């Protein structure tokens, strides 16, 4: 016997769910299996009250606020660049990881700081800069790629 789509049989039977509330002729009409009157037969009422789950849900602490999935920038200060680099050096994420200034080259990196950049002709690659850091870089004759 060859294996083909029509010869595959499921382990469990595919039982269709009952369609309720589709008229008296369907056998599940009028009250739709909910009984007559009362809170439990109304729409919009949680079944958790019946199951004793409501108190359990109420007493579990909820995590408040919002947490973004977007990774935050790893910050490198101009001070650290002044200490670790010389004139006409190239700065890229891999070098910053080797020096231990950041944890990962895959996460976004941003150079921040209002101090004076003392290094001349510095080239920065694949790294974001703040406005003040970019002004300092351009003033010293550096390049951004």
pLDDT digits (tens, 9 = 90+) for 107-138: 999 999 888 999 899 999 999 999 999 998 99
Q: How many domains does the chain have?
A: 1
What's the pTM?
A: 0.55
In a domain? residue 61:
no
Report the distance separating Cα 132 and Cα 140, nearest Å.
Answer: 12
Write the CATH number for 137: 3.100.10.10
- Can you tell me whether residue 74 is helix, strand or coil? strand
In a domain? residue 133:
yes
Cβ atoms of 124 and 143 closer than 8 Å = yes
Cβ atoms of 127 and 91 closer than 8 Å = yes
Cβ atoms of 97 and 105 closer than 8 Å = yes
In a domain? residue 126:
yes
> Residues 38-75: pLDDT tens digits?
888 888 877 666 667 777 778 888 888 888 899 999 99
- Say which residue the tokens 């809170």 belong to: 39
In a domain? residue 125:
yes
In a domain? residue 45:
no
In a domain? residue 118:
yes
Alpha-carbon distances of 123 from 23, 65, 75, 113, rounded to whole Å: 75, 40, 18, 17
In a domain? residue 59:
no
> Residues 64-112: pLDDT tens digits?
888 889 999 999 999 999 999 999 899 999 999 999 999 999 999 999 9
Residue 113 sits in which domain range?
74-144
In a domain? residue 66:
no
């Amino acid at each position: 016997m060859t294996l083909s789509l029509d010869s595959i049989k499921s382990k469990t039977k595919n039982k269709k769910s009952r369609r309720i509330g589709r008229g008296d002729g369907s056998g599940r009409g009028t009250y739709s299996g909910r009984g007559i009157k009362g809170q439990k037969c109304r729409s919009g009422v949680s079944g958790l009250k019946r199951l004793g789950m409501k108190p359990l849900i109420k007493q579990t602490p909820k995590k408040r606020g919002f947490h973004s999935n977007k990774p935050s920038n790893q910050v490198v200060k101009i001070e650290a660049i002044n200490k670790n680099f010389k004139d006409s050096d190239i700065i890229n994420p891999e070098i910053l990881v080797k020096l231990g200034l950041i944890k990962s080259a895959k996460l976004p990196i941003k150079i921040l700081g209002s101090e004076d950049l003392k290094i001349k002709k510095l080239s920065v690659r694949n790294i974001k800069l703040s406005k003040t850091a970019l002004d300092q870089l351009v003033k010293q004759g550096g390049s951004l790629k």
